Amino acid sequence: MNSNYEVIRGGTAGGSALQTNRVLRNTYALLALSMVPTVLGALVGIQMQFSFLAGSPFMAFLLFIGVAWGFMWGIEKNKNSGVGVALLLGFTFFMGLMLSRILQVALGFSNGGTLIGLAAGGTGAIFFALAGVASTTKRDLSGLGKFLFAGLLLGLVAMIANMFFQIPALSLALSAIFVVLFSAYILYDINRIVQGGETNYVSATLAVYLDIYNVFVSLLHLLMAFSGERD
C-alpha cells in the first residue's frame, strides 16, 4: 500500500526548526484525528458484513489500488488546503472499511477481541518507540528510502503471486516482513519530517498513517495464525 504513495512523495530539505516542529506537531494531531474515521469505517464494515469482491482477490486488489490511488492523487493535489484534509479523512474512512474484513475474520476466533487489542497495542508500542528514535537521532535516515522502496516492491510482487498460489507459509512470511518493513518506514518518515525533508503535514500524515495501518494488519494476521483460538 505504501508503494502507491512512495512514488508521489515530495518535499524539500532545509526547513527551519520552527517550521519542522510545526509540521511534526500538526502531523501527530491529524494522525490522531484520522483514527476516528478509520474506526468508524471499520465499525460500519463489520455491521454491514462488508466484503470487497471476496470471490476475486486479484480483482479486489486492483480495484482497491485504483480507489486508493484516486484518493492519494486528490490528497496530494490539494495538500495545501482544507480539501486535502477532508480527502485524507475520507480516505481513512475507506481504509477502515477495508480493515473490517480482517477484523471480521479475527472476531470469528473466541479470543478475537484480545488479538485485535494486542495488534493495536503492539502497533502503538512500535510507533511510539520508533517515532521517539526518529525524533531524537541526529542522523539523517533518508538513505533508507531506496532500500525500503525496493523491499516493498519485492514484497508486493510476492503478495500478488501468492494470491494465485495460496501458500500459507509465504503469507505468514510476508506478514512478518511487512511488520519489519513498515516499522522501518515509520522511522524513515518521521525522520524525514525532523530533518526538514517533508514540509507539508497532510502529506506527512498520509505516509505515516499508511505505515501504521500496514503494521497493524500484518501484526493481526500473525497473531491470528499463531494465537487464534476457535470455539
Query: Do 11 and 79 form a contact (C-beta atoms < 8 A)?
Result: no
Phi, psi of 10 (to 5 degrees): -145, -155
* Per-residue pLDDT at 134 exceeds 80: yes
Query: Please, are residues 4 and 66 in contact by the beta-carbon 8 Å criterion?
Result: no
Q: State residue 17's pLDDT score.
A: 77
pLDDT (average), residues 139-143: 89
Is 50 exceeded by the pLDDT of residue 10? Answer: no
pLDDT of amino acid 54: 63
Q: Could you tell me which residue, 12 or 76, shows the higher pLDDT?
A: 76
- 124-152: average pLDDT: 93
pLDDT digits (tens, 9 = 90+) for 55-114: 677 788 888 899 999 999 999 999 999 999 999 999 999 999 999 999 999 999 999 999
Band of the pLDDT at 163, cuts 50, 70, 90? confident
Contact 106, 116 (CB under 8 A): yes
Q: Which amino acid is at 18?
A: L
8 A C-beta contact, residue 212 and residue 29: no
pLDDT at 27 over 50: yes
Is this model's pTM higher than 0.85 or not? yes
Residue 42: closest CA among 34, 32, 53, 54? 34
- In this model, does residue 201 exceed pLDDT 70? yes
| C-beta separation of 220 from 102 below 8 A | yes
Give the residue among 225, 139, 135, 72 at the shortest CA–CA distance from 64.
72
The backbone torsions φ and ψ at residue 8, rounded to the nearest 5 degrees and listed phi first, read -115, 10
The whole-number pLDDT of residue 53 equals 64
Distances (CA, A) of 130 to 100, 120, 199, 207: 27, 15, 20, 15
Give pLDDT tens digits for 98-129: 999 999 999 999 999 999 999 999 999 999 99
Q: Is the pLDDT of residue 3 over 50?
A: no
Helices of type H across 48-167: 57-77, 82-107, 112-136, 144-165
- pLDDT tens per residue, range 210-230: 999 999 999 999 999 999 888
What confidence tens digit (pLDDT) does each residue in 172-200 have? 999 999 999 999 999 999 999 999 889 99
**Cα separation of 179 and 66, whole Å?**
24
Banded pLDDT at 164 (limits 50, 70, 90): confident
The cell for 48 is 454491514
Task: Name the more confident of 138 and 223.
Answer: 223
- What pLDDT, on the 0 to 100 scale, is given for residue 5? 36
Cβ contacts of residue 161 below 8 Å, gap of 6+? none
Contact 73, 54 (CB under 8 A): no
Query: Rounded mean pLDDT of 161-165?
Result: 88
Contact criterion met (CB below 8 Å) for 43 and 223: no
pLDDT at 2: 42
